Amino acid sequence: MNTENLLKELNDVQREAVLHTEGPVMIIAGAGSGKTRVLTYRIAWLMLQGTDPFNILALTFTNKAAREMKERIAAVVGHSEAKNLWMGTFHSIFARLLRIDGHMLGYPSNFTIYDTDDSEKLITQIVKEKNLDKDLYKPKKILNRISSLKNNLIIPQYYDNFPELREYDEAAKIPDFKNIYTAYVERCFKAGAMDFDDILLKTNELLGTFPEILAKYQDRFRYILVDEYQDTNHSQYIIIKALANKFENICVVGDDAQSIYAFRGANIRNILSFQKDYPDCQIFKLEQNYRSTQHIVNAANSVIANNRDQLKKNVWTSNETGEKITIYKALNETEEAHYIAERIMERHLTYQMPYSDFAILYRTNAQSRALEEQLRRKNIPYRIYGGMSFYQRKEVKDLLAYLRLAVNPHDEEALRRVINYPARGIGQTTVERLTILADQHNTTLWDICRNAINFKNELGTAPAQKVSDFATMITEFGVRARRESAWDAAEHIFKASGILRALNDDKTEEGISRLGNVQELLNNIKSFTDTQLSLEENNDISLDYFLQDIALLTSTDQQDDGEPNKVSLMTLHLAKGLEFPVVFISGMEEELFPSSQMVNTRADLEEERRLFYVGMTRAKKKLFLTFTHMRMRYGKTNDCEPSRFLDEIDDQYTELILPAFHRSQPTFLSGPAWGAGPANNHSSGPFAPIGTSRQKTPHLATRPSSTASNALPPEKPQGEILTHTVPGDRVFHEKFGYGNVLEVEGSGVNVKATVAFDQAGQKKLLLQYAKLIKV
């Protein structure tokens, strides 16, 4: 694409924002208004004007977003040039910087990155060593606290400067928090490890302590661009401010209405601070939405208007009016999932829409189970983002721990994990003795292990020998890790560590699947080694680099198996920045969404509402919102109330659909509003369900009484769909409920069954279409 064509693909304001390359720029604009597009085109434009890609730094929210941007830019400026851009998440970019200069702070260049699991295990260990109450000092709680302090650049040494911190911890019944925090920081440092927050914290420390290093990167990054700026935290804010200080060519884009990570320390005030830091900054407002239909844009506007704290924006679109938003009331989560799967199938078959056009969003990961089940039943391929990732599986982590040890043997968490896996007779007592020795000698677990022979008295002769053998093996792995490619080293370690044998010996189905997962990890390493040479500018195929690469995957990056034609399932949080032709938001119920934990303060409720706004604005053509009458949560079936957010959508943009069942149970439909509405004719056709404009009433009035809910039939039973049947069979029909088969006639595709339904009376059904389930 040439320069002229590039600029033609932008509207006037977007073009202006792209061309205004010098000086501070802030683009605060509504969803789908082309913020990410402007950022991408700006980079391409800079390069077309001769800016060296080495001088550009672009920060995105996920690695996937960075990859997509890079591809777009490569299409304009050529692949070899685009390769040299520093583009990625804050964490991946600054981990890279720390690999280069972190030694100034005393870290090895091959430092380990602890994931949440490693950090929590370390905290558990410290709490145990300090004999503290593990019920009060829960690792998750402690880690969250540590994370929040680190993101505000409060290291243990500063703790006492803020008396309110101690007050908070005492009130939270964790008075020893500071001691744990101190020990945690020391242990990570000794192990040559950083946790996620350290990557930002240590970058700040590095840039703040060494003016020559700061100057080096200030000179290098002449142009800095940040997407999703509304979700940056304080630590990130300070880094970009420092880096941009020399040239002030900084461009941030964001939308205050989409700030959804306050719970992780994101600070919406960074938007306001930007204007203070750069009083001469140029502000661009993009208001035209290019993504969604008018109905979707207007409905989303009507929802976000309920938030008091927001910058005024007028988001509009000249796109088609589009279909109304469908609000569907389901009986329970199974029926909700069934409805969603059916709508996907219909559109897939009728309009040949690929499965990748659909996304199902939900508030909590737990909601995916029912959805998955119904998708599987219909053979609809899907991909779940987030949740338990591949790299968090036990067997995968076991092999990874060996690989981590090969690169950095001081990595305490990896060492603890595999010192006796596969079993080699190093018991818990020995590990405890090793820990005490490390503490006494003020050194790492690894240092004790490799000198184990000198500690025969403390450990006993046989255990000392076993530990020493283990250390010899790890040392040998280390030599390979330095000399060989990631793939060669990993393949050797897989065999020599005994993991291959241990997994091979396990012939249970679980064991076989574990072996499969580990092999999949090896495949990943192989393809990393193979593709690294062609993709990245530094051609690093070492194990060290591979480990860094996967440690920094974000939830949206994980499990992208390259298979494009799948329905996407993810939490609303993960959907930020993405778009899909058809979007379902499921579980639109009080307590679930808004979450019961987010309704106690206005700030929390507004954040929750922004999350809904993010969800709605992912849809290009069609949006479905579904809620249930009953839902199983924590093993109990609960009555549900429709989400208050549904009431906030202007009626004119929505239609309410009730499940078929509601029509055969008119007694259930008492009172107006959500639970009720006139019994409508639910069309089974794909695009024209005849809905009802609902009446607004306070949602509290719609909570069904327990008698009403008792009148509901049991949920759809599990079972095979009948292809033949005999009189006397008890069956279930999607629409008519339960009944008994009276008579069967016809043959082949014309078999008809006469069924006496408990509620709906006698019906004659063509078996081929009736989808009767035998119960």
From the list 652, 775, 758, 667, the residue with the least C-alpha distance to 716 is: 775
Using the rule CB under 6 A, is 416 a contact of ligand ATP? Answer: no
* Among the listed residues 577, 675, 677, 691, the single contact to ligand ATP using CB under 6 A: 577
Rounded Cα distance between 566 and 245, Å, is 44
Q: Which stretch binds ligand ATP (CB under 6 A): 31-39, 76-84, 91-99, 299-307?
A: 31-39
End-to-end CA distance of the chain: 62
* Among the listed residues 13, 14, 268, 473, the single contact to ligand ATP using CB under 6 A: 14
Site for ligand ATP in 616-645 (CB under 6 A): 617
Strand runs labelled E in 629-663: 630-633, 636-639, 654-657
* Among the listed residues 265, 577, 737, 739, the single contact to Mg ion using CB under 5 A: 577
Which CB, 579 or 604, lies closer to ligand ATP?
Answer: 579
Query: What b/e readout covers 44-57, taking b as 16+ CB neighbours within 10 angstroms?
Result: bbbbbeebebebbb
Which CB, 35 or 433, lies closer to Mg ion?
Answer: 35
- Indicate the pairing of strand 773-774 with strand 730-733: antiparallel
Which CB, 11 or 420, lies closer to Mg ion?
Answer: 11
291 binds, among Mg ion, ligand ATP, none (CB under 5 to 8 A by kind): ligand ATP
Assign 470 to helix, strand or coil. helix
Query: How many residues of this chain bind ligand ATP (CB under 6 A)?
Result: 19
Using the rule CB under 5 A, is 230 a contact of Mg ion? Answer: no
139 binds, among Mg ion, ligand ATP, none (CB under 5 to 8 A by kind): none
Residues in contact with 157: Cβ distance below 8 Å, sequence separation at least 6, in sequence order: none
Is 697 known as a binding-site position? no
* Among the listed residues 13, 17, 25, 36, the single contact to ligand ATP using CB under 6 A: 36
CA 155, 156, 162, 167: dihedral to nearest 10 degrees?
130
Using the rule CB under 5 A, is 292 a contact of Mg ion? Answer: no
Rounded Cα distance between 582 and 280, Å, is 41
Which CB, 139 or 577, lies closer to ligand ATP?
Answer: 577
Site for ligand ATP in 581-620 (CB under 6 A): 617
Is 32 known as a binding-site position? yes
What is the CB-side half-sphere exposure of residue 36 using CA atoms within 13 A? Answer: 21
Using the rule CB under 5 A, is 626 a contact of Mg ion? Answer: no
Cβ 9 to ligand ATP shortest distance, Å: 6
From the list 354, 346, 308, 307, the residue with the least C-alpha distance to 326 is: 346
Q: What distances in angstroms separate CA 32 from CA 112, 354, 360, 620, one per listed residue? A: 38, 22, 19, 9
Using the rule CB under 6 A, is 570 a contact of ligand ATP? Answer: no
CA 304, 306, 307, 310: dihedral to nearest 10 degrees?
60
Cβ 225 to Mg ion shortest distance, Å: 12
Is 208 known as a binding-site position? no
Rounded Cα distance between 775 and 720, Å, is 9
Which CB, 27 or 403, lies closer to ligand ATP?
Answer: 27
For the question of residue 36 being annotated catalytic, the response is yes
Q: Are 407 and 549 in contact (CB under 8 A)?
A: no
DSSP-derived secondary structure for 225-284: EESSGGG-BHHHHHHHHHHHTTT--EEEEE-GGG---GGGTB-THHHHHHHHH-TT-EEE
DSSP state of 495: H
Site for Mg ion in 3-42 (CB under 5 A): 35-36
DSSP-derived secondary structure for 660-690: HHHHH-GGG--SSSTT-S-------SSS---
492 CB-contact burial (10 Å; exposed 0-12 / middle 13-18 / buried 19+): middle
Q: Are 61 and 553 in contact (CB under 8 A)?
A: no
Cβ 161 to ligand ATP shortest distance, Å: 38
Q: Which stretch binds ligand ATP (CB under 6 A): 6-14, 479-487, 514-522, 594-602?
A: 6-14
Using the rule CB under 6 A, is 331 a contact of ligand ATP? Answer: no
Using the rule CB under 5 A, is 258 a contact of Mg ion? Answer: no
| Tokens linked to 741 | 């088969």
412 binds, among Mg ion, ligand ATP, none (CB under 5 to 8 A by kind): none
Q: Are 109 and 192 in contact (CB under 8 A)?
A: no
Q: Where are the alpha helices (DSSP H) in 586-658?
A: 602-616, 644-648
Find the catalytic residue in 60, 62, 230, 258: 258
Rounded Cα distance between 393 and 386, Å, is 13
Cβ 87 to ligand ATP shortest distance, Å: 16
Build a one-symbol-per-residue string for 274-293: x at contacts with ligand ATP by CB under 6 A, - elsewhere. ----------------xx--
For the question of residue 369 being annotated catalytic, the response is no
For the question of residue 227 being annotated catalytic, the response is yes
108 CB-contact burial (10 Å; exposed 0-12 / middle 13-18 / buried 19+): middle
Is 33 known as a binding-site position? yes
| Tokens linked to 472 | 């010899």
Is 35 known as a binding-site position? yes
Which CB, 6 or 712, lies closer to ligand ATP?
Answer: 6
Using the rule CB under 6 A, is 295 a contact of ligand ATP? Answer: no
- Indicate the pairing of strand 282-284 with strand 358-362: unpaired
Number of residue whose CB is nearest Mg ion: 36
Assign 701 to helix, strand or coil. helix
Using the rule CB under 6 A, is 330 a contact of ligand ATP? Answer: no
From the list 767, 687, 672, 664, the residue with the least C-alpha distance to 720 is: 767
Which CB, 37 or 480, lies closer to ligand ATP?
Answer: 37
Is 34 known as a binding-site position? yes
For the question of residue 618 being annotated catalytic, the response is yes
**DSSP bridge partners of 755:** 741, 763
Site for ligand ATP in 227-266 (CB under 6 A): 255, 258
Find the catalytic residue in 150, 514, 618, 703: 618
Rounded Cα distance between 554 and 505, Å, is 34
For residue 422, whether the previous peptide bond is cis, meaning omega lies within 30 degrees of 0, is yes
Cβ 685 to ligand ATP shortest distance, Å: 29
Cβ 258 to ligand ATP shortest distance, Å: 6
Number of residue whose CB is nearest ligand ATP: 34
Q: Which stretch binds ligand ATP (CB under 6 A): 8-16, 89-97, 98-106, 185-193?
A: 8-16
| Tokens linked to 452 | 């184990």
Build a one-symbol-per-residue string for 535-574: x at contacts with Mg ion by CB under 5 A, - elsewhere. ----------------------------------------
Find the catalytic residue in 118, 227, 255, 323: 227
For the question of residue 475 being annotated catalytic, the response is no
Which CB, 24 or 577, lies closer to Mg ion?
Answer: 577
Find the catalytic residue in 14, 36, 310, 554: 36
Find the catalytic residue in 101, 197, 228, 336: 228
Using the rule CB under 5 A, is 289 a contact of Mg ion? Answer: no
For the question of residue 707 being annotated catalytic, the response is no
Is 30 known as a binding-site position? yes
Rounded Cα distance between 306 and 592, Å, is 19
Q: Which stretch binds ligand ATP (CB under 6 A): 33-41, 143-151, 166-174, 368-376?
A: 33-41
669 CB-contact burial (10 Å; exposed 0-12 / middle 13-18 / buried 19+): middle
255 binds, among ligand ATP, Mg ion, none (CB under 5 to 8 A by kind): ligand ATP
* Among the listed residues 13, 17, 33, 738, the single contact to ligand ATP using CB under 6 A: 33
Annotated binding site: 29-36
Question: Catalytic residue numbers?
Answer: 35-36, 227-228, 258, 618
Annotated binding site for ATP: 29-36
Residues in touch with ligand ATP (CB under 6 A): 9-11, 14, 29, 31-37, 255, 258, 290-291, 577, 579, 617
Residues in touch with Mg ion (CB under 5 A): 35-36, 577
